[in-house]
Amino acid sequence: MSDFSTNGAVARTNGSGTATLLETKPCVLELDHIGVRFGGVIGLDGVSLRVSEGEVCGLIGPNGAGKTTLFDVISGMRTPQDGSVTMDGVDVTGLSAAKRARRGIRRTFQRVQTFGWLSVEDNLLTALEWRGGGGGLAGDLLALPSRKRRERQRRERVDHVLGLCGLTGVRKSSAGSLPIGQARMVEFGRAIVETPRLLLLDEPTSGLEDVEVDRLAQSMRALLGEHECAVILVEHDMHFVMGECNPIVVLDQGRVLCSGSPEEIRTNEEVQTAYLGDVKGMHAAAAPTSEATNFSPTNNKEES
């Protein structure tokens, strides 16, 4: 008897090969034949993707495969020429990035984008400002109990996330003064302090030390354990991807080359042929190691 997962459904097979559906998780995001063109250059070509609640979906591929472009489409920063983006059963293709953020899409970027002149604590508080403090001007002038209660709840949430991200000790430091590893954790904390429905992480381990990578993984697991959400991450560190993601989707030249479990991706000859050249890096990711394995043959970062 064995278990497997497909499209958010967990199934169990018996000895005769009959599958019994055990649980169906809600679909958070569905992309249907997404197409993006830059003049005569095809950025994405018929990309379809489905991510269910509780999943950490790894999005991998060589430089220029279209991973960041796909994130732009999901987050609303770019409108596709073809296809549709559906979130929780609602077509959001025509919605702006701000409106999608209100629906629960959160994103980090390849390059750290913190408010460098603000403290770490204030960076996280800014993500909660859009809801307002409650009571408007009267709430400020009269110090209404509802306003105080809302402010207390906001700061309690920030305290929790600071601890989760290992940032309590630098909460009063300016974000611009931090090393890149801590700055990335500030960006991650800002993305999750307002509970996401869908979290997009673009190369989250870049610049992180081993202990920080472990903390990031623990924070993702805690987030999924506490809240009903999904995560999609773009990453070149194959050791991290193989350990934390299922399913994994491989993009190549703007198309979905294949998708599946870590083991299926690791042994897929098309994946190896497409961009690895030397497949030792892929197999090394399967074995415990203290060194992160970079998926790309080079250390260049994707910019498209």
* Residue 173: partners with Cβ closer than 8 Å, 6 or more residues away: 119, 120
**Given this model, what pLDDT does residue 271 score?**
83
Would 243 be classed as within a structural domain? yes
Same domain, residue pair 296 and 200: yes
**Given this model, what pLDDT does residue 302 score?**
43
Would 166 be classed as within a structural domain? yes
**Given this model, what pLDDT does residue 95 score?**
95
Mean predicted confidence (pLDDT) in 229-249: 93
**Given this model, what pLDDT does residue 136 score?**
57
Tens of pLDDT, residue by residue over 161-214, are 999 999 999 999 999 999 998 999 999 999 999 999 999 999 999 888 899 899
Tens of pLDDT, residue by residue over 77-115, are 999 999 999 999 999 999 999 999 999 999 999 888 899
Residue 65 confidence (pLDDT) above 60 = yes
Same domain, residue pair 253 and 178: no
Same domain, residue pair 202 and 154: no
Would 224 be classed as within a structural domain? yes
pLDDT band at 137 (very low <50, low <70, confident <90, very high): low
**pTM for the whole thing?**
0.80
Greater model confidence, 243 or 4: 243
* Residue 247: partners with Cβ closer than 8 Å, 6 or more residues away: 5, 55, 57, 58, 259, 260, 261
Same domain, residue pair 141 and 208: no
Q: Work out how many domains the chain is built from and give that number.
A: 2
Tens of pLDDT, residue by residue over 252-291, are 999 999 999 999 998 888 887 765 554 455 555 555 544 4
pLDDT band at 300 (very low <50, low <70, confident <90, very high): very low
**Given this model, what pLDDT does residue 118 score?**
94
Domain boundaries, position 64: 27-104+196-304
Same domain, residue pair 137 and 230: no
**Given this model, what pLDDT does residue 112 score?**
87
pLDDT band at 292 (very low <50, low <70, confident <90, very high): very low
- CA-based nearest residue to 235, from 270, 195, 262: 262
Greater model confidence, 280 or 152: 152
Q: How far apart are CA 221 and CA 154, in angstroms?
A: 22
- CA-based nearest residue to 19, from 32, 5, 34: 5
CB 261 within 8 A of CB 247: yes
Q: How far apart are CA 248 and CA 263, in angstroms?
A: 10
**Given this model, what pLDDT does residue 133 score?**
58
3 burial via Cβ count (<10 Å: 0-12, 13-18, 19+): exposed
Q: What is the CATH number of the domain that holds 83?
A: 3.40.50.300
Residue 297 confidence (pLDDT) above 60 = no
**Given this model, what pLDDT does residue 23 score?**
59
CB 303 within 8 A of CB 296: no
Residue 42 confidence (pLDDT) above 70 = yes
Give one DSSP letter per residue of 210-250, joined into a string.
HHHHHHHHHHHHHHHHHSS-EEEEE-SBHHHHHHH-BSEEE
Q: Report the interhelical angle of 180-193 vs 210-226 (nearest 10°).
A: 0
Q: How far apart are CA 108 and CA 198, in angstroms?
A: 12
Average pLDDT over the chain, rounded to an integer: 82
Q: How far apart are CA 137 and CA 202, in angstroms?
A: 38
Residues constituting the chain: 304
Same domain, residue pair 151 and 203: no
**Given this model, what pLDDT does residue 62 score?**
87
Q: How far apart are CA 55 and CA 67, in angstroms?
A: 18
Number of CB atoms found within 10 A of residue 265's CB: 27
The fraction of the chain above a pLDDT of 90, given in percent, is: 59
Instruction: Please say which residue of 128, 158, 184 terminates a domain.
Output: 184
Look up residue 98 and give its two tokens: 């701000």
